Amino acid sequence: MTPGIRKFVRTAHITFTVGWLGTVASFFVLSVVGLNSPDAQMVNAAYLAMKMITWYVIVPFSLIPLLLTGPILSLGTPWGLFRHYWILAKLAINILSTLILLVHLQPINYLSRRTAEAVLSSADRTLQILMVIASGVALLTLLVATSLAVYKPRGMTPFGWRKQYEERPSS
pLDDT digits (tens, 9 = 90+) for 104-125: 999 999 999 998 888 788 779 9
Average of per-residue pLDDT values in the chain: 91
- CA angle, 118 then 119 then 122, to 5°: 125
105 within 8 A of 47, measured Cβ to Cβ: no
pLDDT classification of 170: cutoffs 50, 70, 90? low
152 within 8 A of 84, measured Cβ to Cβ: yes
Length of the chain (residues) = 171
More confident residue, 154 or 106: 106
**Would the pLDDT of 48 be above 80?**
yes
**Would the pLDDT of 152 be above 90?**
no
Give whole-number Cα distances, 107 to 23, 58, 63, 96, 160, in Å: 18, 15, 20, 18, 41
Query: For residue 145, how many other CB atoms are within 10 A of its CB?
Result: 22
Gap between the Cα atoms of 59 and 52, Å rounded? 10
Residues 5-22 have pLDDT tens digits of 999 999 999 999 999 999
Gap between the Cα atoms of 9 and 5, Å rounded? 6
**Would the pLDDT of 168 be above 80?**
no
80 within 8 A of 152, measured Cβ to Cβ: no
pLDDT number for residue 158: 81
pLDDT number for residue 167: 76
